[in-house]
Amino acid sequence: MTNSSRASMTVVPAPAPAAPEPAPEPVRRRTPRRARWLDRAGWYEPRSTGTRSTTRQAEALNLALSSPPTTYRGLIVGTDRLSGQLVCHDPFVAYEDRLVSSPNAAVIGDVGKGKSSLLKTWGTLRQLLLSGRRVMVLDKKTQAGVGEYTPLAQAVGAPSIRFTVDGTGSRLNLLDPVIALGEADEAAAGRPTGQMMLVRAVLAEALGRPVAEREGKALRTALLAAARDAHERGRVPVVRDLVHHLIRPADEAAAELGLETSTLREWGFDPAFALERMVEEDLAGLVDAETSPDVQLDHPSGLVHFDISALPVEGPALRIVMTLINTWQSNMLARRSRQLMQTVNVVEEGWHVAEGALGKVFQRNTKLARGLGLATLAGFHHISDLPPGSAARALLQEAETVFIFGQSLRSDALACVELYNLPAGTEDTIMNLDRGTFLLKIGHEPPLLVQHIRSAAETRLTETDSAMTGQPR
């Protein structure tokens, strides 16, 4: 290419790049105002999606989880007023778990606070239906002319063994062989093991004083003779046999002691006349004949209901019959100890065994609880009602399961605090307990504030206001 041709060519420049369009200015909007009540309710907070979990895994999220007030082992008593959790307790299970060393329990509180409802439900019905145990009730309270536990006994199909002073009720022989023998061995027939103490206690009540030494020797000789004579005749000895041998001792018995027959007879006069008077007056129709067939521990329902509501509070009849029933039961259980059958003994009015020789016999039988598989649940109104050193106060002191219901008097509340070593100030709590609410003290554990709970059926069977309201149950 020539220079001229290069000169004639025209150079066209490249087009300049287009300038970028300016970004649109953002539209400014006014921030909406939050409603204060929605803000407090958390309406504006972001909602997170839930995560699948299990109850056991989620326990760790509850940092304020409280431990249960009692173990789950046992029968339901009620609910803890502080945590709302169930409170379960059973005297036999607590003994097995080493929480208590005695299965006996005491229930203390003013009239109308709910003691009977607790004894009827937790102490009787639930023991029968849920634990399959045998329950024996000493029923002193009167309701519509019969014992207060009669409707409950009818509900489970158990008969009521009723004791009266007019001779129309059941009888429990003071010289029943069950009481006399420690075992069912016929070779031991006539040995007054345990029975001599019971007869002495009854005589002390009749005489108004302890049995003297010479009277005791005549009594023992006559008791052996009465048991031996009845055994030879093929029948059971009764109180009149004992009276007969006290007044007419055998010459051989006196000779063995190196005494004249008249001397041995003189030693036995006062005991004989006192026993004779008692069985013809105070105890007529109660302990002066063979034990009635209906007095037994083997009813299929498991409940043995002793209705002693017709016995007078004044006089010795009530205390003697209560102690005699307890002794008969203890000896019967001793015979059957190999069966390992647990038994609950409910005593609604424990203050009747407060004093005297009979109370000591009752207390002695209660001390055999562990060997017999027997738990005694006794009800009391006030600790101040019981003399210091009495058998009933000993029952309270030895009980390691205690239910304390409301006490209206500060002195009674303070007595509970002192006897069971409760924290200072607990007396105010006791004085302000509502009906059906109580403090539960188990062994050395701190007391629990518990609300007793009942099913609808239990409520119908345990209410005792029909006489006041004029309405049937």
Structure tokens at 147: 């014992």
What is the enclosing helix (H) or strand (E) of 357? helix 356-366
Q: Where are the domains of the chain?
A: 62-165+295-466, 174-281
Class of domain 62-165+295-466: alpha beta
Residue 60 pLDDT > 80, yes or no? no
221: closest CA among 175, 253, 188?
Answer: 253
Quote the percentage of the chain above a pLDDT of 90.
Answer: 41
**Whether the Cβ atoms of residue 75 and residue 127 lie closer than 8 Å to each other:** yes
Structure tokens at 38: 């929605």
Per-residue pLDDT reduced to its tens digit, 199-228? 888 888 888 888 999 999 999 999 999 989
Residue 182 pLDDT > 50, yes or no? no
Per-residue pLDDT reduced to its tens digit, 378-408? 899 988 888 777 777 888 888 899 999 999 9
Q: Look at the pTM and tell me if it is higher than 0.85.
A: no
pLDDT at 333: 83
pLDDT at 325: 87
Q: How confident is the model at residue 339 (pLDDT cuts 50, 70, 90)?
A: confident
**Whether the Cβ atoms of residue 99 and residue 443 lie closer than 8 Å to each other:** yes
Per-residue pLDDT reduced to its tens digit, 91-127? 999 999 999 998 999 999 999 899 999 999 999 999 9
Q: How confident is the model at residue 1 (pLDDT cuts 50, 70, 90)?
A: very low
Q: How confident is the model at residue 16 (pLDDT cuts 50, 70, 90)?
A: low
DSSP state of 146: E
Per-residue pLDDT reduced to its tens digit, 281-334? 888 888 888 999 989 888 899 999 999 999 888 878 888 888 888 888 888 887
Q: Which residue has the tokens 């521990």?
A: 297
For residues 115 and 95, give the distance between their C-alpha atoms in angstroms, rounded to a whole number: 23
Composition of the chain by helix, strand, coil, percent to 5: 40, 10, 45
Neighbours of 368 (CB within 10 A): 14
Q: Which of 35-44, 222-231, 350-359 is predicted least confidently?
A: 350-359
